[in-house]
């Protein structure tokens, strides 16, 4: 009889694994190596960051939630600077400036998808 290198439980001589998770032919029995962790750069957010944003002072590590908030705020500022306060104005601006995007959404404000489709 031999012993498990991880938990010291007795094992048969031909054993290749142990209930504790150790396996002879894999590296699962080794201690895991931890990768460096970078937390989100916003105060009070301890979530692990997923990407970096370029700021005027350098780079900022951000989590998924703050990444979405950052880009949503940036889009709202841009729309406000262009005078696009309503969805109708934004759609009209898109149709004028991005002709290829007009094909994706041809509805007018207030229309439903079901009005254009025939019922069975």
Q: What is the pLDDT of residues 38-73, one digit of tens each?
A: 889 888 888 899 889 988 999 999 999 999 999 999
Q: Does 99 score more than 90 pLDDT?
A: no
Q: Does 107 score more than 90 pLDDT?
A: no
Mean of all residue pLDDT scores within the chain = 80
Residue that wins the pLDDT comparison between 28 and 99: 99
Q: Does 5 score more than 70 pLDDT?
A: yes
pLDDT recorded at residue 64: 92
Backbone angles phi, psi at 63, to 5 degrees: -85, 175
In a domain, 3, yes or no: yes
In a domain, 20, yes or no: yes
Q: What percent of the chain has pLDDT over 90?
A: 25
In a domain, 45, yes or no: no
Determine the Cα–Cα distance for residues 48 and 69; give it in Å rounded to an integer: 16
Q: Specify whether 57 is located in the same domain as 94.
A: yes
Residue that wins the pLDDT comparison between 53 and 95: 53
Q: Specify whether 65 is located in the same domain as 100.
A: yes
Domain interval for residue 15: 1-31
Q: Specify whether 56 is located in the same domain as 99.
A: yes
Q: Specify whether 65 is located in the same domain as 101.
A: yes
In a domain, 62, yes or no: yes
In a domain, 69, yes or no: yes
Q: Specify whether 68 is located in the same domain as 102.
A: yes
In a domain, 115, yes or no: no
Q: Specify whether 58 is located in the same domain as 88.
A: yes
Domains in the chain: how many in total? Answer: 2
């Amino acid at each position: 009889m031999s012993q498990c290198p991880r938990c010291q439980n007795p094992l048969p001589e031909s054993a290749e694994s142990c209930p504790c998770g150790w396996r002879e032919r894999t590296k699962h029995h080794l201690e895991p190596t931890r990768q460096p962790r970078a937390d989100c750069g916003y105060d009070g957010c301890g979530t692990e960051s997923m990407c970096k944003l370029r700021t005027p002072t350098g780079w900022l590590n951000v989590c998924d939630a703050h990444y979405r908030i950052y880009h949503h705020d940036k889009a709202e500022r841009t729309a406000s600077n262009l005078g696009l306060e309503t969805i109708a104005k934004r759609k009209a601006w898109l149709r004028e400036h991005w002709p290829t995007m007009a094909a994706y959404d041809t509805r007018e404000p207030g229309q439903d998808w079901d009005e254009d489709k025939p019922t069975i």
